Amino acid sequence: MIEVRGLCKSFGALHAVSDLEFTAPEGRITSIIGPNGAGKSTLFNLIAGTLAPDAGRIVLGGRDVTGLPAYELARLGLARSFQITNLFFGLSALENVRLAAQAHEARRRFFSRLERLAAPAERARAVLAEFGIAELAGEPVANLSHGDQRRLEIAVCMASRPRVLLLDEPTQGMSPAETLAIDQLIKSLTGRVTVLMVEHDVDLVMSISDQVIVMHQGQKLFAGPPDQARNSSAVRGAYLGADHAAA
Amino acid sequence: MPTAPLTRTVPWAAVTRRGVLGWIGPGLLVLALLFPAAAGAFYLRLAIEALLLGAIALSVDILLGFAGLLSLGQAMYFGLAAYLTALCYLHLTQSFWLVAAIVIAAVALVAVLLGAVAIRAKGVYFALITFGAAEIAGKVVHNTRALGGSDGLIGIPVPSIGLPGFALPLRNDLVFYYVVLVAVTLAFIGVRRLLATPFGSVLSAIRDNAIRVPYLGYNPFWYKLVAYLIAAEVAALGGLFYPLLRGFVGPDLFGFDISTQSVVMALVGGIGTLIGPLVGGVVVTLLQSVLGSYTERHLFVLGLVFILFVRFLPGGLFGLLRRDEPP
């Protein structure tokens, strides 16, 4: 599980994230929603080690990981996907997943012969099969469809057997049918990994999340189960304006 | 430089894959072993030079073909090794092994110090730092009287390599040729082995998309630094023998001409293939030598060769043979 305590980050006069607190419970799906500029991406970058916070703490599985670099966090079991597909486009789908598995399965065997290191390759094939893209193993990622690339992005994350998975708009740019499939896929991760997800598709969020956190202007507006979020007047206010909140 | 074709090539898979490429290496080695039987003294010495310059091209390929770093200053390690070698034989010792140990240690020290700074820079800035460092080194040598200034160091004695029970006199061109051939071949095999590993696969990932790599749990800094160190030692291998071929060293050994020529050699042979740059070394050295006897403007021709390859054959000679599939 992951805990955020009093987290603050400012860019000049802009308080992108201010005094944010929440806990993403073990093995559950926690979604962060909020209008554009609410600070969701900054929050993700703080948790994943891309940015360092001005104040506050991030606790991963009981350990204070505030300010650790991204590669340390990854070794501690944090995996993240990216809003804009971020893969090794010149390498094959299999090699993308294999590299992630290798970091976990063969960390201290830098100079072993690759063909003798079976574990990462086996793990990679198993993950590709689980994500339904086994037949694309040999394809360069650049040749994959957008939907398959988004799928691979999550597969790469899961290959390292993470404890916490950060998904940054996993269905960005996908068709409704593809979105539904990714939906099911993320739901199937429940119990195996703690998921923290930023998502614009509110229907998706409401249908698969165990907890919804609503952010507005860098602050937490609401945290609770999805059905309560739907009915919260504060949430409506943030999304639709103050008039609707009063109604 | 067009980045697109160069980044779409296949790094570590090319060094592990058996098949056509797997047979070309041994085939070329047999040709190289038989070469002295057909060649006269001039071409034998030219072949030694080609192999030594090919080592710099190989070092360029480790950085450019695997880590995606374009160095325009690999001649610095060639020059550094050459001057150290010359100084040692002139003033310190005639033991080849002691000199080799000194050169390896000194180059490692410089490579780690400079590398730790240079690899933090990206793209063209890395190229500029390596270029600048080599130019500074060349100028310092040029202006240091104790190092012979612009005249360089002359009259370097040629040693024999002591082995248990016998010695290999490098004064004999045939012996010299085979020693250099063995040294460069061993360096090539060692580098190929080193890159057909998780280490090499992470370098390929860095080349493809460096920003993504830390999120997999790898710290790119160490991978790039080790690659930079290995590349520096490979370039230094050329410098360890070069003064013995020529009998003198000069500040131009650090120069931009040698650095860029080695990039052209790597490109002509095929970036990311390891063996290509060695072949490119032979092709370009031969071309320079033949053209040099007709015209003083052989650098112009080198530039033309570079442009033609970048435009029409960015994968180099070995890029033609390689099937374009990703690892």
With beta carbons under 8 A apart, name residues in chain A contacting B220: 71
| Ordered strands of the A78-80 beta sheet | A78-80, A164-168, A194-198, A29-33, A211-216, A219-224
The mean-pLDDT minimum among A23-27, A56-60, B195-199, B296-300 falls in: B296-300
Range A179-201 average pLDDT? 89
CB B281 within 8 A of CB B267: no
Structure tokens of B205? 């990932």
For residue range B149-195, list pLDDT tens digits in order: 989 999 999 999 989 989 999 999 999 999 999 999 999 999 999 99
Q: Residue A169's closest CA among A191, A145, A153, A189?
A: A153
For residue range A121-135, list pLDDT tens digits in order: 999 999 999 999 999
B218 vs A246, residue with greater confidence: B218
- Long-range pairs of A167-170 with CB within 8 A, sequence gap ≥ 24: A167/A80, A167/A81, A167/A195, A167/A196, A167/A197, A167/A198, A167/A199, A168/A41, A168/A44, A168/A80, A168/A81, A168/A82, A168/A83, A168/A197, A168/A198, A169/A83, A169/A198, A169/A199, A169/A200, A170/A81, A170/A197, A170/A199
Mutate to test the interface with B, among A45, A92, A111 (most CBs of B within 10 A): A111
Asked whether the predicted pLDDT for residue B240 surpasses 60, the reply is yes
pLDDT of residue B13: 53
How large is the C-alpha radius of gyration of chain B?
19
The mean-pLDDT minimum among A104-108, A135-139, B86-90 falls in: A104-108
Q: Residue B13's closest CA among B326, B269, B245?
A: B326
pLDDT of residue B301: 83
Residue B325 has its nearest CB partner, among A71, A87, A138, at A138
Distance of residue B113 Cα from the nearest chain A Cα, in angstroms: 23
Asked whether the predicted pLDDT for residue A159 surpasses 70, the reply is yes
Say whether B273 sits in a helix, a strand or coil: coil
The mean-pLDDT minimum among A190-199, B64-73, B238-247, B312-321 falls in: B312-321
Partners of A215 in the β-ladder:
A220
CB atoms B202 and A99 under 8 Å:
yes
pLDDT of residue B299: 79
Residue carrying structure tokens 């703080």: A46
d(CA B15, CA B136): 35
d(CA A151, CA A136): 12
Structure tokens of B89? 């034989």
d(CA A159, CA A125): 10
CA dihedral sign, ordered B163, B165, B171, B174: negative
For residue range B97-124, list pLDDT tens digits in order: 999 999 999 999 999 999 999 999 888 9
Range B237-244 average pLDDT? 96
Q: ipTM value of the model?
A: 0.91
d(CA B266, CA B184): 15
| A116 reaches B (C-beta below 8 A) | no
pLDDT band at B6 (very low <50, low <70, confident <90, very high): very low
pLDDT band at A151 (very low <50, low <70, confident <90, very high): very high
Distance of residue A89 Cα from the nearest chain B Cα, in angstroms: 7
pLDDT above 90 as % of chain B: 73
d(CA A25, CA A210): 9
| A95 reaches B (C-beta below 8 A) | yes
pLDDT of residue A245: 47
Asked whether the predicted pLDDT for residue A196 surpasses 60, the reply is yes
Residue B198 has its nearest CB partner, among A71, A92, A117, at A117
d(CA B51, CA B72): 20
pTM: 0.90
Range A11-16 average pLDDT? 89
Range B63-80 average pLDDT? 95
d(CA A150, CA A148): 5
E strand map for B28-93 = none
Distance of residue B204 Cα from the nearest chain A Cα, in angstroms: 9
β-pairing verdict for A164-168 and A78-80:
parallel
Residue B209 has its nearest CB partner, among A86, A102, A114, at A86
**Angle CA A105–A107–A110, to nearest 5:** 120
| A77 reaches B (C-beta below 8 A) | no
pLDDT of residue B7: 36
d(CA A77, CA A67): 15
pLDDT of residue B4: 36
CB atoms A89 and B208 under 8 Å:
yes
pLDDT of residue B104: 97
pLDDT of residue A95: 94
d(CA A181, CA B5): 35
Asked whether the predicted pLDDT for residue B326 surpasses 70, the reply is no
Asked whether the predicted pLDDT for residue B224 surpasses 50, the reply is yes
With beta carbons under 8 A apart, name residues in chain A contacting B198: 102, 106, 109-112, 114, 117, 120
Average pLDDT value for chain B: 89
pLDDT of residue B267: 94
Say whether A6 sits in a helix, a strand or coil: strand
d(CA B76, CA B78): 5
Partners of B317 in the β-ladder:
none
For residue range A218-247, list pLDDT tens digits in order: 888 888 888 888 888 777 777 766 555 444
A228 vs B81, residue with greater confidence: B81
For residue range A46-97, list pLDDT tens digits in order: 999 999 999 999 999 889 999 899 999 999 999 999 988 999 999 999 999 9
Contacts of B186 (CB under 8 A, 6+ apart): none
Residue B216 has its nearest CB partner, among A69, A99, A109, at A99
